[in-house]
Amino acid sequence: MGLLVGIAAVAPMLGFLGTVFGMIHTFQDIAANDNISIGVISGGIYQKMITSSAGLIVGIIAHIFYTLLNTMIEKNVTNLELQAIDFLDILHKPVYEDQKA
């Protein structure tokens, strides 16, 4: 569970880091070519969009799985608690005089 939470939290940040690197790449290409044309900037913007979307997709999927697993665990814990209460109720039933023999 901790791993899923970590992935869900870190993946969008890594996607954002890729966005920053893509923009750095774009500005380096502009500076190197001294030209702002679609051909010069498209590579960096493409890198930016791919890394952003990949980070978000991985983060969303990890968060969905975390939520599903957490819900399943909570249901099982609740079920175990109810069974434990029922068991304790059986143990604490009073014994009547006619049942002692």
Closest to 22 (Cα-Cα) out of 3, 41, 2, 1: 41
Residues 45-62 as b/e (b if ≥16 CB within 10 A, e otherwise) read eebbeebbeebeebbeeb
Q: Tell which wins on pLDDT, 76 or 26.
A: 76
Give tens-digit pLDDT for 6-53: 988 999 898 889 889 888 988 888 888 887 888 888 888 888 899 999
